[in-house]
Amino acid sequence: MEFLKNLNYYNAQVDKELSKYPAICDLEAKTNVPKTYMAAGAVTFVFTLIFFNVWGKLISDVIGWLYPAYASFKAIESPEKTDDVQWLTYWTVYGFIKMLEFFSDIILYWVSFYFLFKTVLFLWLFLPPFRGAQMIYLKFLGPTLRAYEGDIDKNLKNLKDKIKDATKEAVKNVTGVTNKSEHVE
């Protein structure tokens, strides 16, 4: 009985959220299929594709990018700063995970249901009830970056200076132009 009560509560919450989108409401009116059933069907279909690794990599990457990219756009356009911090944190953690994945891809490819786990991880990272990205950032990534911040800044400055010098040299070689201070007669 408690299960049905919880199910009805979540069904009402999802219906309330989906009611914000006129296209979904129009589709519900035309098909006489409740919005929540359509959403559950779509989610089941996508997770079935991921589960059987039909475009698993593509779908998991789209899930990890599509909604967060749109939410980031909305955050940029809003005057509030709290949502900016949330999405900057997400993209920092997302980039870190994608970098780790690049180096471990050969091994991870052989892990059963890897793309399903990856999709669930992305959802955990950005969905408001969980905000896993904040947890990873606060407990691991932030403290690690702070510990090496001075070294990173110094190395980035050195790299920037080397790029600046190389660019000047390349322009000088291409154009044949020299600095007047170099022409001493």
Question: How many domains, the chain?
Answer: 2
Whether 4 and 78 map to the same domain: the answer is: no
Query: Is the domain of 81 the same as that of 162?
Result: yes
Identify whether 180 is part of a domain.
Answer: no
- Looking at the structure, tell me whether residues 98 and 29 fall in a common domain: no
State the pTM of this model. Answer: 0.73
User: Torsions phi, psi of 92, nearest 5?
Assistant: -65, -45
Q: Which domain holds residue 21?
A: 1-52
Residues 37 and 77 in one domain: no
Co-location of 157 and 71 in the same domain: yes
Residue 20 lies in a domain: yes
The series of mean pLDDT values per 10 residues for the chain, 185 residues long, is 84 90 92 93 90 87 95 94 93 96 86 90 93 96 96 96 93 73 52
The reported pLDDT for the residue numbered 182 is 53
Pair 89, 141 in one domain: yes
- Examine residue 155 and state whether it is found in any structural domain, yes or no: yes
